[in-house]
Structure 1
Amino acid sequence: MEDNNQIQDTQTIFKPFRQNGNETSLHIVYKAMMTRYDSNQALALLKEFCLTSLSVENQRRGLELLYMSSFFDELEELIRVNRKSENEENRQWAYIYGIMLERRKTGEKLDPYKMLAGLDKLKPLSQEVEVLKVFLTVYSYNTLRKNGTVGSYFDTLHELTNAIDDPLMVMYFQERLEDFLMFYHLLRNELILCRKYGYRLINRTHNTFKHCVAHQKLALTYALENYEQALYHSNEALSIAEQNGYTRLSHVVTDKNFPFIAAVNGVYEGVTTSDPIEQAHLDIAKGNIKEAVKVLEEIEQPSPFQEYYLGKALNDMDRLLSAYHRFTRSGNHFAAQFPIHEIKRIRKLDIEILEEHRLA
């Protein structure tokens, strides 16, 4: 009975936007919902509106709303609707969002060469499809760590987005670009720019999932600069994740972010993690070197981070340099700063020891 009442209430809410067989544009509905309800309620209603839309324009634009609002299960449902559409442009949108959803499901490990080959065959039927095609192209080159190629597309994205008529799509495409730029500048270790776009996402978007991710990334940018600021953003990310049931993100913050940032700053009191590798990092901070090395040396093919941890534990310059080069070769210049930080610490220690011997 409660479900029927809820459906009836939704139908009543949507009635003004569906009159005489016509449906109001998603942009107008978005503005109305955001004016009348808090952001979470408004997005929940907009989700239902997209899923029950009979307008081909709203059905395809609803894909972007669902994607940017992190409604991935519902996105899959609307992709199926658009795939069956008689409208060819809607089928193009469905093709693109099918790829985007697959990237999300596979942890962005979808073959970038396969993506680029498929996109090369796509002949966009609208400006929006052209923008989406360019975004996917950028994501592909980013996966390949071709930073120069990625950067060459930013002006194109701005120009294409500004030429779009629909204000809702312009808003989402600009938000999508700023979201990407936050990650792009983080990898390039351009932290001021990364923070600029991170704070914009927090202040402009209504998507709590993106707020959580932005705080989580911002915390990392302060790991070597300001421990208290890093803790603040980690706590904000955790609070948002717990309030909204973002289990995976909550796990990332508690088991990865907190212990990593703490260990980097030599802090370990009261810090816990269920991740054995991050526990090893904490043990290094505690001075429990034997315990840390035992865990890390058992890894047959250590990641660059694991090699960095082992180099840090053993004061091993070769391992630290190897980790640094592996990070830079993969395009992660931000992560490369951590082994460099340890190399500088060891060199400073060596200089201090030599100075002590000289004065003795």
Structure 2
Amino acid sequence: MVESNQDIAEYLSTADDVEQAILNLDPNSHLARTALEYAINNSMTNVLDELIEKLLTSDNEESQSWAEVYRIDREVVKGNLSLIEATNKLTYMKSEAKELNALRKIFQLYNYHDLKYFEMVSTLSELVQAEIEELVNGYIKKSLISRLGLVMQAVYLHLNDLEKCRNYGNIILDNAVTEKARGVALRNIANSYTLINYDIAIMYFNESKALFQKLGQHVELTNSQRSLNFAHCYWNKQENFSRTSPYNAPEEIQGYAYYLIKNKEYTQAEKLLEQLQTNITNNFQLGFQYYYKGLIKNCEDYFLESVTHFKKAGDYYYRNLPLIELKKIGVNNVVLDALRV
């Protein structure tokens, strides 16, 4: 007989078929509720969707509430619900379950992150952290610690608070319930060193890549390789540009343009950036777009435009890129200090 307080990771460790074991769980049980988190962490999308439906139609009110939180998150992923709509729905949900309330707030933090409300996430995270610390030790608590760490790593990188970014990275490495989370944490730590220390950045990027290669996580491997390529270019380290996927994402095209710029192939780089211009979808990408254009033309106006878009994106870390170039071309320190705010 399954104990109501049994840990999901312990329970599934003895299962011959993990996915089937999850789907056979009593939807009214604690295990079924915690299995939602296990399924999402392990990219079992079909299992997650089926389990959500089972819990939504169960006889247990708490199971229904858990399923509704995950359903809202899935609707955002599928593009059926806006970040603001999802955040509002999560705000007005009521539950007595401490674990669910902490999870609900973490989903809200992720939404605020995607909306570029980085300062708000930083402020609210302290309350969420306190709630997580009160939870009983087990799979859910470790997963929530890891989830919070991942969003806070990204937030503090954007806010240019690199020490906190790295601290959260180490927390993830100590608490991650999946190797994928460890790989992302390693990449974020590497990113925090990219503009500061080449050797340390490359070490962490390579650790991240090795993990994703082992896991067969192709998309994450692509992201780590792209960041590694950027670090090589930034530090003027010559290396063949390596693509790990056939995708033509804006970030990938911009990265290749950066490689061309560093190899003084300005005409080809400029052509790539011009072709890409209409496909840029956010201020963060525009920040890089104008930074690269500024490098080609050594143009103050382009670097100022880059600063403007990074500022609109709420980013302080990569805003340093155009600021460094503006300093090189002689822009007054008083002006540079004003642009950093």
TM-score of the two chains, using structure 2 as the length reference: 0.83
Cα deviation, residue 250, structure 1? 1.8
Q: Deviations over 1:233-269 (max 9, x none)?
A: 2222221112111111122233x22321111112233
Equivalent residue in structure 1 for 2:9, among 30, 38, 54: 30
Query: Structure 1: how far apart are the matches of 2:201 and 2:92?
Result: 45
Evaluate the alpha carbon distance shift between residue 104 and residue 337 of structure 1 in structure 2; reply closer, same or farther with a 3 A threshold: farther
Indicate the percent of aligned positions where both proteins have the same amino acid: 22
Which one-letter code corresponds to 2:200 in the other structure?
Q
Cα deviation, residue 212, structure 1? 1.5
Which one-letter code corresponds to 1:292 in the other structure?
A
The 8 Å contact of residues 139 and 177 in structure 2, kept in 1 or not, is answered as no
Say whether residues 1:259 and 2:229 are aligned partners: yes
* Aligned residue number for residue 38 of structure 1: none
* Aligned residue number for residue 340 of structure 1: 323
Q: How do 1:26-105 residues align onto structure 2 when only pairs under 5 Å count?
A: 26-27=6-7, 30-31=9-10, 49-54=21-26, 56-105=29-78
Query: Structure 2: how far apart are the matches of 1:42 and 1:176?
Result: 25
The 8 Å contact of residues 82 and 90 in structure 1, kept in 2 or not, is answered as yes
Cα deviation, residue 43, structure 1? 9.9
Evaluate the alpha carbon distance shift between residue 321 and residue 337 of structure 1 in structure 2; reply closer, same or farther with a 3 A threshold: same
Query: Structure 1: how far apart are the matches of 2:302 and 2:59?
Result: 58
Which one-letter code corresponds to 1:100 in the other structure?
D
Equivalent residue in structure 2 for 1:268, among 238, 249, 268: 238
Evaluate the alpha carbon distance shift between residue 122 and residue 24 of structure 1 in structure 2; reply closer, same or farther with a 3 A threshold: closer
Q: Deviations over 1:127-148 (max 9, x none)?
A: 2222222222222322332334
Say whether residues 1:298 and 2:275 are aligned partners: yes
Query: Aligned to 2:330, what secondary structure does the other structure show?
Result: helix
* Aligned residue number for residue 358 of structure 1: none
Query: Aligned to 1:339, what secondary structure does the other structure show?
Result: helix
Cα deviation, residue 311, structure 1? 0.9
The 8 Å contact of residues 113 and 151 in structure 2, kept in 1 or not, is answered as no
Evaluate the alpha carbon distance shift between residue 43 and residue 204 of structure 1 in structure 2; reply closer, same or farther with a 3 A threshold: farther
Query: Structure 2: how far apart are the matches of 1:340 and 1:118?
Result: 40
Q: How do 1:118-197 residues align onto structure 2 when only pairs under 5 Å count?
A: 118-165=89-136, 167-197=138-168
Which one-letter code corresponds to 2:5 in the other structure?
S
Equivalent residue in structure 2 for 1:279, among 256, 261, 272: 256
* Aligned residue number for residue 214 of structure 1: 185
Number of equivalences: 317
Evaluate the alpha carbon distance shift between residue 231 and residue 162 of structure 1 in structure 2; reply closer, same or farther with a 3 A threshold: closer
Query: Structure 2: how far apart are the matches of 1:42 and 1:296?
Result: 53
Query: Structure 2: how far apart are the matches of 1:240 and 1:280?
Result: 27
Cα deviation, residue 345, structure 1? 3.1
Contiguous gaps of at least 5 residues in structure 2: 247-251, 281-285, 332-341
Cα deviation, residue 333, structure 1? 1.6
Query: Structure 1: how far apart are the matches of 2:316 and 2:16?
Result: 39
Query: Structure 2: how far apart are the matches of 1:96 and 1:332?
Result: 29
Cα deviation, residue 45, structure 1? 6.8
Evaluate the alpha carbon distance shift between residue 73 and residue 233 of structure 1 in structure 2; reply closer, same or farther with a 3 A threshold: farther
TM-score of the two chains, using structure 1 as the length reference: 0.79
Say whether residues 1:313 and 2:296 are aligned partners: yes
Evaluate the alpha carbon distance shift between residue 191 and residue 72 of structure 1 in structure 2; reply closer, same or farther with a 3 A threshold: farther
Which one-letter code corresponds to 2:210 in the other structure?
S
Cα deviation, residue 318, structure 1? 1.1
Query: Structure 2: how far apart are the matches of 1:44 and 1:257?
Result: 38
The 8 Å contact of residues 30 and 46 in structure 1, kept in 2 or not, is answered as no
* Aligned residue number for residue 283 of structure 2: none
